[in-house]
Amino acid sequence: MRNFLNVAPTTVLVLVLLALTLVAFGMVRSRAMASVGGDSRKLHSLPNYYGYNAALFTAIPSLFVLVAWLLIQPVVIQNAVIEMIPQSAIAEGSSVSLVMSDVTRVANGLDAAVQAGAIDADRARNLSSNDTDVRALLAESGVALGSDVSPEVLAAAQRYRSMQGTGRLLMIAIVSTIALAGLLFAFRVTTEKFRARNMVERFLLSMLIAAASLAILTTVGIVLSMLFETINFFKLHPWQDFFLGTTWAPNFRGDSELSILPLLWGTLYISLIALLVAVPIGLFAAIYLSEYANGKVRAFAKPLLEILAGIPTIVYGLFALLTVGPFLVNLFGRGENGILGVDWMSGATSVLTAGLVMGIMLIPFVSSLSDDIINAVPQSLRDGSFGLGATHSETIRQVVLPAALPGIVGAVLLAASRAIGETMIVVLGAGAIARISANPLEAMTTITTRIVSQLTGDTDFASPETLVAFALGLTLFVLTLGLNVLALYIVRKYREQYE
């Protein structure tokens, strides 16, 4: 609810801007028409372009400033307020960011209290912790605080509120000025000679470029967001332990051992089993579908196999946890009561469980990529082989597959990158125990599961136990990116060969 209050004036501003844009369109279009006495043939561009031009000049710069303002204002305010908090106000075991979250909570609470009518705006501004119990006051209006409000926090919260209020007013003023200036500019330049279409098209083109650059921005965002937190992590935790240690034992009281090696082992082991399942099945399925199957079988089996790729991973996760896991326990565990009469497996979560299910998920991935690649092998190679008297299978093994090999390797690498980055199947099926062991019937854990467990629930961004997730994420990103680039390189190089 409190966030709704923060957004409301912005929403109104956006609506006003939209209305202004419509007005600009109508006004400038009619001005253009008036300038030639209603004879649109005398205009340089079609009349609508004059309107579009005005609408763009009104809406785009102002909206751009608005978005930038909304992004920057919180940071500026936060930095200003943090300076107000003296070192002494930060309790033992606490941190600036925790105090800061207290400050925002109190400030938002005061906003909510004013909104609810519990106190009037004047009193909220001049509240001091000496004469009122702020915590009780806020509790009345539905804002629960973890502890009593210290005078420093209250003062900071007041500053926060006043800066936010001023910032909002300033934003409204500046954004509407820019919109009006844009409108005025478009109005002024509109004459019969004005090249409105060229202007609009240049504008549109720059917007198209901006949209295309978002891809770069996303990548930069991914890398930067993880890089900064990873650097913070390595300031708190030695990198030697992260890369070279052998134990993963996070301990939220501090003194954790956070090494990636056991996680990496679990990840690679599960991926290996998944590939051992997916690659033979997928490859043989692709060979059969592209070399042997007639049209009917192909039209029937190919889409059905591809359904496996469209099923959400959470479904596979549940399948691993509740169906495959218990089945494997029946097979390999439970001693005398089990199917094999052995007692090698105790829990449903294991490397084998997750690996098998992930393998099923990857079958269509391998098969449809390999199918494309096998189909791209020129028919003349096959014909040559048949002409020499080779059987169909000999042709496939000795001519088609060697020719398609680089592409198939690329497909397998892409599948491997999928397997390494897969989350839900391993979260539900692989278990949570970090260990380096060769027994596939034991539970192990992976990089992705640890990211999930370190970042869900209450997180404190000042502790290495939380920040390690970013280092893990960056490692995962680099790992999968490397595999993808390698795979794409191999596939691309191979394609050029035959085209």
Partner 1 sequence: MTDLPDHTQPQRSLLQQDARTVKRNRAEKRFKMYGIVAIAIGLLMLAILLVTIVGRGTGAFQQTFLTLDVQLLEAKLDKKGDRNIEDIKKVSTFGYAPLMSAALEAKVATLGIQTELKPKAMADILSKDAAAQLRDFVLANPDLIGTSVEFKFLTNSRVDGYMKGRVSRESIANDKNINAAQLDLVDALHAAGALQTQFNLSFITGADASDARPEAAGMGVAMIGSLFMMLVVLILALPIGVAASIYLEEFAPKNLLTDIIEVNIANLAAVPSIVFGILGLAVFINYMHLPNSAPLVGGLVLTLMTLPTIIISTRASLKSVPPSIRDAALGVGASKMQSVFHHVLPLAAPGILTGTIIGLAQALGETAPLLLIGMVGFIASNPPDSIASGLLAPNSAMPAQIYEWAKRADPAFYERAWGGIIILLVFLVTMNAIAVLLRRRFERRW
Instruction: Return the residues of window 117-176 that contact partner 1 according to CB under 8 A.
Output: none
Which member of 94, 177, 246, 393 binds partner 1 (CB under 8 A)? Answer: 393
Q: How far is the CB of 256 from partner 1 (least distance, A)?
A: 20
CA-to-CA separations, 43 to 39, 46, 481, in angstroms, rounded: 8, 7, 53
Of residues 176-205, those binding partner 1 (CB under 8 A) = 197, 201, 204-205
Closer residue to partner 1, CB minimum distance, 268 or 301: 301
> Would you count residue 325 as binding partner 1 (CB under 8 A)?
no
| C-alpha span between 71 and 91 (Å, rounded) | 30
Which member of 36, 481, 486, 495 binds partner 1 (CB under 8 A)? Answer: 481
> Would you count residue 229 as binding partner 1 (CB under 8 A)?
yes
> Would you count residue 488 as binding partner 1 (CB under 8 A)?
yes
Residue labelled with tokens 């280092």: 471
> Would you count residue 282 as binding partner 1 (CB under 8 A)?
yes
Give the 3-state secondary structure of residue 50: helix
> Would you count residue 209 as binding partner 1 (CB under 8 A)?
yes
Of residues 23-82, those binding partner 1 (CB under 8 A) = 70-71, 74-75
Which member of 396, 399, 403, 416 binds partner 1 (CB under 8 A)? Answer: 396
> Would you count residue 407 as binding partner 1 (CB under 8 A)?
no
| C-alpha span between 34 and 179 (Å, rounded) | 23
Q: Determine the interface stretch with partner 1 among 21-29, 162-170, 400-408, 456-464 (rule: CB under 8 A).
A: 456-464
Residue 333 dihedral angles phi and psi, to the nearest 5°: -125, -160
Contacts 24+ apart (CB under 8 A), 492-498: 493/406, 494/373, 494/406, 494/407, 494/410, 495/376, 495/407, 498/376, 498/377, 498/378
| C-alpha span between 167 and 421 (Å, rounded) | 42
Residue labelled with tokens 């049209």: 295
| C-alpha span between 278 and 359 (Å, rounded) | 5
Give the number of other Cβ atoms within 10 Å of residue 254's Cβ.
Answer: 9
Within 13 Å and on the Cβ side, how many CA atoms surround 134? 32
Closer residue to partner 1, CB minimum distance, 170 or 214: 214
> Would you count residue 299 as binding partner 1 (CB under 8 A)?
no
- Residues β-bridged to residue 345: 333
DSSP letter string, 250-289: --TTS--EE-SHHHHHHHHHHHHHHHHHHHHHHHHHHHII
Q: How far is the CB of 487 from partner 1 (least distance, A)?
A: 8
Closer residue to partner 1, CB minimum distance, 70 or 272: 70
> Would you count residue 4 as binding partner 1 (CB under 8 A)?
yes
Of residues 460-479, those binding partner 1 (CB under 8 A) = 461, 469-470, 473, 476-477
Which member of 128, 219, 251, 439 binds partner 1 (CB under 8 A)? Answer: 219
Closer residue to partner 1, CB minimum distance, 96 or 205: 205
Q: Are 259 and 241 in contact (CB under 8 A)?
A: yes
> Would you count residue 304 as binding partner 1 (CB under 8 A)?
yes
> Would you count residue 423 as binding partner 1 (CB under 8 A)?
yes
> Would you count residue 315 as binding partner 1 (CB under 8 A)?
yes
| C-alpha span between 87 and 90 (Å, rounded) | 6
| C-alpha span between 157 and 149 (Å, rounded) | 10
Q: How far is the CB of 195 from partner 1 (least distance, A)?
A: 11
Q: Determine the interface stretch with partner 1 among 16-24, 186-194, 209-217, 404-412 (rule: CB under 8 A).
A: 209-217
Of residues 335-364, those binding partner 1 (CB under 8 A) = 360, 363-364
> Would you count residue 295 as binding partner 1 (CB under 8 A)?
no
